[in-house]
Structure 1
Amino acid sequence: MEPTIYLFFEGNCLEAMTHYAEVLGGQITDVSRNGDAPDPESRMPGGDNLVLNMAMTLGSATVMASDGVGEMYEKPQGFRVAISPLSLAEFDRVHAALAKDARSVEMPAGETFWAERFSMFTDRYGTPWMLNFDGNKAPGGA
């Protein structure tokens, strides 16, 4: 059994998930829009282009998402999507792409006692991220 990350967005799910797929090397495998629902009762309030459900594969993981507009949307809290790029250059590339226009930066990219590079931020779409590159601080060295 593996957990699946499920993200909610304020009407920009397709844009956000497409960005994540491009930056992280994922593949969008399914998109169901509001307009695809068989009847009006199966739709959420809002336009036909809102995303009811979307799936992306990222390595062996699946990340799913949808739009949650109005009262259906709650600001993410109490978690972060954590990723560990395999090199310092990859960390810097991913960080630059995801942290661009960030809503907040809790820890700017920098060295810590446990990692060559670490950062925590909430991106422009509202997703809270934690990036970590152990490098030579990994148990046993890099």
Structure 2
Amino acid sequence: MKSRNLLRYGPATGNGLTATVNGDGSLHISGTPTRRWLGIKWPQELASFAGKTVIMSRSASGDAPGLDVVFDIYDKDNKVTYLTTTPVTVPSDATSVYLRVQTSLAVPEPMDFDLRVQVEEGTSATAWEKPDTTDYLGGWRA
């Protein structure tokens, strides 16, 4: 059975944060971001999103001061649209999409939390499902 959760992610380290994958497929994020708006991001398979209306949902448990989870959508002109919790239609000519986890705090604080994030097709969020790919080593500094 294919997951509704279209994301792919896996272990990654960058900008003071470390991401590992829990047994249930959620992400565990720990560390202290090196500065505001920095963290880890994972490139996504563009074909999974181009031309589709998608919505993101997320929940975190633990200590997540300033947590900012964003889905970045770049078009052919390198203009970015940020998907948060409002549905967005990904342009059919989009050039790249990324899942990004970072801090919004001007003075970053230590983080240690579990994150369940889902991007799915449609306009209403449903219950979280583990993505099909949780061993993707594509995460890097954001």
TM-score between the two structures when normalised by the length of structure 2: 0.25
Higher fraction of helix:
1
Higher fraction of strand:
2
Q: Of the two, which has the highest radius of gyration?
A: 1
* Higher RCO (CA-CA < 8 Å; seq separation 6+): 2
